Amino acid sequence: MSLAGTAPNPLREGSVTLGAADPCSIVVFGASGDLTRRKLLPALYRLTRDRMLHPMTAVTGFARKRKTDEEFRNEASAVMGVEASSPDWTRFAGSLHYQVGSFEDPDAFLALRASLETGERLRGIPSNRLYYLATPPSNHDTILRNLGRAGLVHTAGERGPWSRVIVEKPFGYDLASARALNARLHEVFHESQVYRIDHYLGKETVQNILVFRLANGIFEPLWNNRYIDHVQITVAESVGVEGRAAYYERAGVLRDMMQNHMLQLLTLTAMEPPARFGADEVRDEKVKVLRALRPPGPADVAAQTIRAQYAAGATEGVVTPAYRDEPGVDPRSETETYLAARVEIDNWRWAGVPFYLRSGKRMPRRATEISIVFRHPPYALFRAEGCGEIQPNVLRLRIQPDEGISLSIGSKSPGASLHIDPVRMDFNYLTSFGADPPEAYERLLLDCNLGDSTLFARRDEVELAWEYVDAIARAWQSEGRPALAYYACGSWGPPEADALMARDGRAWHRL
Ligand code: BG6
């Protein structure tokens, strides 16, 4: 794995990647979907423009809707707002194709195979294939079966061309469905060919959690229950359900954010240093954290989780409706759009250090942050001087936006009397590196091409995350579940979440 600062970063140092990426055919299933339009095509365009992909790479969008290559290209350039006559776009558009077909139709897959083989012959490249399942999970089975039947997947480990598959989230709905999907994937692909995406792992700041911890000598010795009081992980969004009610009504915040993104942030914060930066070594350590999560019984869930839904209010100055009044949402919906949870990790390093997680939609602003709150010094020397309570040191890893890291320290305020105030030492990506971090999907698509699965979730990782989340989901459906709380759009969550912290003598950090 190449992480910024420890090894060459392919997204920064073009020369590393030029020639490193294999020529391949990329097939995106679900080409008419929102994800393809908003994330995948722009990422592939930028990778082509920046010459990160091999020049002989071709991209085929596969979907039901009938359209020509030309229409597909024009739609893409319009969505991206790229000038269709620009040389960069022309080069990308030349590699962009469209294949009409239904996921259920085996003949459409045979046609896909024929067109891929023709293209590869003409371009003089091996038949390396990257399949991207940007489709709802209900389509995965059929697509996988037809890919296998049409002979579109090369066996893993063979010398010669490779086949890989990227699977978008949601990866299942619960443990049982995730296991079933894994079993289906393994009928066609070997685990080493499967890339389960969690786009948070593609974020530069998320990768930097490990660099920050392990490339510096001064933090890791403090990174344990002797020095850390507790950890707060916040993933706040100002957006609402945004027309995705059909999906979100079933998923809710627990499946949409906690099973994947939040647990990824937690494992990277809590894991032991791996012996090597290899995909398996890193993921082995993350898996150990998931195994160490204290399984929440129904009584723990009732006491240590808060489930809430947004009520009408104003977000970023705009009046926004209650979740139940959003288009497509059941007016009596009990779906959670916010959760807060107190999570414990039963291992040597973290025993007694609670991790408080919270995530919600329609919060005052978009902010993802991990706060490491340190213990007070063992002896309050300055209290006798009338300084009162001194704020603990807090290390804030700002994942997005305003990406950076800050450490608050107590400092003497200038003057004759002794006043201690918190001040901040701050690192900001934009000012230090002169640019915002690149888009997560670029990094992940490139890593898959390079055969590096470090930033993708392994089978056991996904299943353990589901095991934990399922325990909460089950308890949330049982009789003794915590009542659904409400919070106004534009607020930081319900009072119940503040009470959860107050019970432990703590408070959520203001973001
Ligand atoms: C997605 C969720 O996985 O992540 C969305 O389905 C959420 O509901 C999104 O809005 C958040 O991603 P980001 O990168 O904007 O933090």
Task: Specify whether 509 is catalytic.
Answer: no
Lowest-confidence range among 48-62, 70-84, 294-308, 380-394?
380-394
pLDDT above 80 for 188: yes
For atom 6 of ligand 1, which residue has the closest CA?
Answer: 256
Quick one: tokens of 172?
Answer: 């299942």
pLDDT above 90 for 147: yes
Q: Which atom of ligand 1 is nearest to the CA of 247?
A: 6
pTM recorded for the entire structure:
0.93
Query: Catalytic pick from 261, 376, 419, 509?
Result: 261
- Among candidate residues 46, 103, 101, the one with its CA nearest the CA of residue 76: 46
For atom 9 of ligand 1, which residue has the closest CA?
Answer: 257
- Pick from 261, 335, 363 the residue to mutate for probing ligand 1's pocket: most ligand atoms within 8 Å of its CB: 261
pLDDT digits (tens, 9 = 90+) for 300-354: 999 999 999 999 999 989 999 999 999 999 999 999 999 999 999 999 999 999 9
pLDDT above 90 for 437: no
pLDDT digits (tens, 9 = 90+) for 357-367: 999 999 999 99
For atom 13 of ligand 1, which residue has the closest CA?
Answer: 200
**401 CA distance to ligand 1 middle (Å):** 13
**308 CA distance to ligand 1 middle (Å):** 18
**275 CA distance to ligand 1 middle (Å):** 32
Mean pLDDT, to the nearest integer, of 35-53? 93
pLDDT digits (tens, 9 = 90+) for 214-272: 999 999 999 999 999 999 999 999 999 998 999 999 999 999 999 999 999 999 999 99
- Tell me how far CA of residue 504 lies from CA of 152, 188, 346, 428, 448, in angstroms: 56, 49, 18, 32, 43
pLDDT digits (tens, 9 = 90+) for 378-398: 888 887 777 778 899 999 999
Q: Which atom of ligand 1 is nearest to the CA of 400?
A: 16
Helix, strand counts (H, E) of the chain: 17, 17
- Tell me how far CA of residue 32 lies from CA of 44, 133, 155, 271, in angstroms: 15, 12, 29, 38
Count of residues making up the chain? 511
pLDDT above 80 for 5: no
Contact (Cβ atoms closer than 8 angstroms) between residue 45 and residue 37:
no
pLDDT above 50 for 70: yes
**161 CA distance to ligand 1 middle (Å):** 34
- Among candidate residues 446, 320, 336, 340, the one with its CA nearest the CA of residue 14: 446
Q: Which atom of ligand 1 is nearest to the CA of 169?
A: 3
For atom 5 of ligand 1, which residue has the closest CA?
Answer: 256
Quick one: tokens of 373?
Answer: 């709150």
Q: Residue 443 has what pLDDT?
A: 93
**355 CA distance to ligand 1 middle (Å):** 21
**In the structure, which protein residues have their CB atom closer than 6 angstroms to any atom of ligand 1?**
169, 199, 237, 239, 256
Find the helix or strand (DSSP H, E) in which 163 lies.
strand 163-167
**411 CA distance to ligand 1 middle (Å):** 38
**28 CA distance to ligand 1 middle (Å):** 20
For atom 14 of ligand 1, which residue has the closest CA?
Answer: 200
Q: Which atom of ligand 1 is nearest to the CA of 260?
A: 3
- Pick from 205, 253, 256, 399 the residue to mutate for probing ligand 1's pocket: most ligand atoms within 8 Å of its CB: 256
